[in-house]
Amino acid sequence: MPQPLPPLMSISDKAQPAAAAIALKGWPLLRLGFRPFYLGTALLACLSVPLWIAIFLGRMQMRLDMPALLWHGHEMLFGFAAGVVVGFLLTAVKAWTGLETARGPLLGVLILLWLAARLAALVAPYPVFAALDMALLPAAAAILLRVLIKAGNKRNIPLISLLVLMAIANLVFHLAVLGAIAVPPVSALYAELALIIMVVCVMTGRVVPMFTKNVTPGLAINVPRKFELTLLAVTALTLALWVLAAPAPVLLAASLAAAVLHAARLWMWHPQVTFKRPILWILHASYAWLPIGFLLLALAQLGWVAQSLAVHAFAVGVIGGLIIGMITRTARGHTGRPLQASRGEVVAYSLVMLAAVLRVLVPAVQSHWYPYALEGAACLWGIAFAIYLFIYTPWLTRTRLDGKDG
């Protein structure tokens, strides 16, 4: 992964005035990748999770060409999370290089391709869905690689490997569902989840301490480099053991080690100083689900809890929480607005965290409340992303407040 990440949070201002004036002639929604992809993925999150719970609990029927559980897992990881990653990187690479990534018709093709795959999963024959779904990640990787090479930005080229690995995991998933390879489809979903968690570990380690120090005068956060490298190595090993279905005793030991390391890392970041800054505490609160998830994964090896609780600690608590936090923070910065959450955004943050509690912790304590916890979590999750759409749709479909391109 590349070293410098601060530019991810703001759009480059290197564009010349004449170029900016020309750029402003385009439809605002298609000026930069975060705009359509953040809105599209928020809409998917808002609609698909309540739909899945209704199907799972037998409240409605839907004919799919794959098991509904696989559809749900795939859409959350390769539709929702991967869509956010694509929008984020299309924006970040422009900031790093000062060169256009995708805008206008090209960006429109990418978001329509993403949308077509989401709809095809529901109404088209499976091969059609698979073909559409597998096209986006390689296309985004090719666009970003071309820009990085043109700019001579070699240190960020390794980021393209993330999209390539995600594309490979997606290919394995579809081949497994089609019966072309003897691999459980859920293993490909776990691999995708593991990839995203590793990215989270690297990214948060660089930006969360920086954000925290920047708004807390006199605060010193010094995490030893050896500790960071050990944490990343143990996390990668644990996730690999999990994806490869390693023996329970081995995975138990690795998961406990990962849980302790991530809890220690969070403590070193001084989360207590963020309580009055919601746009910051949501990042700390989301990260707190990492040690919880690894602890639950360890307990699952003992048969004390279901492994799905660990999966949803990672998916809802960590990924969902960080996504709602980052798509508000970055969208505010990229539309020329202050990095200060409104009441509506604070409500959205709180609802995602409460959804994680209902989906993960309530069933762990009271298993007979499981159906009610699922319904409650789905409603809170859906409302949270509906709030995002309500606030951000007008912002992301209009020109920046400062009149700049982006």
Mean pLDDT in the chain?
91
In angstroms, rounded to a whole number, what is the distance separating the alpha carbons of residues 346 and 52?
26
Taking Cα atoms as reference points, which of 160, 135, 145 lies closest to residue 78? Answer: 135
Write the pLDDT tens digit of every residue in 194-245.
999 999 999 899 899 999 998 888 888 999 999 999 999 999 999 999 999 9
Beta-carbon contacts of residue 404 (< 8 Å; ≥ 6 apart): 11, 13, 15, 20, 336
Write the pLDDT tens digit of every residue in 261-290.
999 999 999 999 999 999 999 999 999 999
What SS3 state is found at 337?
coil
Whether 371 shows a pLDDT value over 50: the answer reads yes
Q: Is the entire prediction scored with pTM above 0.85?
A: yes
Q: What percent of the chain has pLDDT over 70?
A: 94
In angstroms, rounded to a whole number, what is the distance separating the alpha carbons of residues 113 and 356?
30
Tell me how far CA of residue 324 lies from CA of 3, 174, 182, 321, in angstroms.
24, 28, 36, 5
Tell me how far CA of residue 110 lies from CA of 40, 323, 381, in angstroms.
12, 20, 26
Whether 175 shows a pLDDT value over 80: the answer reads yes
Where do the domains of the chain lie, and which CATH numbers do they carry?
6-396 (1.20.210.10)
